[in-house]
C-alpha cells in the first residue's frame, strides 16, 4: 500500500523549531494551498530531525514543498469523545521563492537533449 503525499503551499506563520526531551528537533506548522477560486486549504505538517533543517529561519508566506505521508491521530477529549485529525508527517521539505509573474524559461533547440 502507498501512503505518500507531495504538497506545495505557503507558510501560514513563521515555523518554530523545538527540541524534544530526547534531543530531536521538530516543528509543527501549517501551510496554505490554493484551491478553486479564491479559497485556500490548510494542512498541518509535522517534521522531525533532518526534515526540519530547511524551514529553520523560514518565514510566513514562503513557499515550501513537503514530501511525506498522511498520519492520523486519535485521542479522547475532556468529555470522553474520540477525536481525529490528519496531518502530513514530512520526510523532506524544500523551500523556495516563487513569483507568480515569472514566465517559464524556454529552452533553445540547442539545449534540448534527445
Q: What is the pLDDT along the chain (114 residues), one digit of tens a residue?
A: 999 999 999 999 999 999 999 999 999 999 999 988 889 999 999 999 999 999 988 999 999 999 999 999 999 999 999 999 999 999 999 998 655 444 444 445 555 554
Spatial separation of the C-alpha atoms in residues 92 and 48, rounded to whole Å = 9
d(CA 63, CA 59): 9
pTM of the model as a whole = 0.78
What single-letter DSSP state applies at residue 75? Answer: E
**Domains of the chain (ranges, CATH numbers):** 5-98 (2.40.50.140)
* CA separation for the pair 58, 83 (Å, rounded): 31
According to the 3-state scheme, what is the secondary structure of 46-63? EEEHHHHHHHCCCCCCCE
CA separation for the pair 114, 92 (Å, rounded): 31
Amino acid at each position: 500500500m502507498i501512503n505518500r503525499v507531495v504538497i506545495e503551499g505557503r507558510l501560514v506563520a513563521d515555523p518554530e523549531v523545538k527540541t524534544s526531551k530526547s534531543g530531536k528537533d521538530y516543528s509543527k506548522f501549517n501551510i496554505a494551498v490554493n484551491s478553486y477560486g479564491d479559497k485556500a486549504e490548510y494542512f498541518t505538517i509535522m517534521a522531525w530531525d533532518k526534515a526540519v533543517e530547511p524551514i529553520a529561519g523560514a518565514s510566513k508566506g514562503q513557499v515550501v514543498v513537503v514530501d511525506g505521508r498522511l498520519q492520523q491521530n486519535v485521542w479522547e477529549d475532556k468529555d470522553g469523545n474520540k477525536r481525529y485529525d490528519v496531518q502530513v508527517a514530512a520526510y523532506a521539505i524544500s523551500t523556495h521563492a516563487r513569483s507568480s509573474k515569472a514566465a517559464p524559461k524556454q529552452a533553445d533547440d540547442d539545449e534540448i537533449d534527445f
